[in-house]
Amino acid sequence: MTLKKNKDKHVILWPEYFDSTLSRKYGRKVPKELAVPRPTQRELLEAATSLGLRAEPLEGSYPRTWWVKEGPILVEKKGTKRSIMIEVAKALRSKRYG
């Protein structure tokens, strides 16, 4: 699948977007109270699918933390990227902390 052709149908979510140990400068995009320490690609996949979104794993490393080999996920776009990130963050937090 070509990502550029399907940009309006999918969003890419990196684990770093949800990592409470990172500052905004290093890639965290959700508020710290919604973030969790060092989320994995598998946790993101589970959180996205629990919301009823189709998600698939991708390979790669986040540019700011290139040494971490945790790849992103590709999620179908339902709403804005920001709203999807917030919902996934809430699901991720509830899965981890109950």
Q: How far is CA 57 from CA 48, 82, 98, in A?
A: 11, 19, 24
pLDDT band at 5 (very low <50, low <70, confident <90, very high): low
Average pLDDT over residues 52-72: 88
Average pLDDT, the chain: 90
Question: What residue ranges do the domains of the chain occupy?
Answer: 10-97
pLDDT surpasses 60 at 80:
yes
Rounded Cα–Cα distance for residues 41 and 73 (Å): 7
Q: C-alpha angle 59/62/35, rounded to 5°?
A: 105
Q: CATH number of 10-97: 3.50.50.60, 3.30.56.30, 3.30.1370.30, 3.40.390.10?
A: 3.30.56.30
Model's pTM, two decimal places? 0.87
SS3 at position 96:
helix
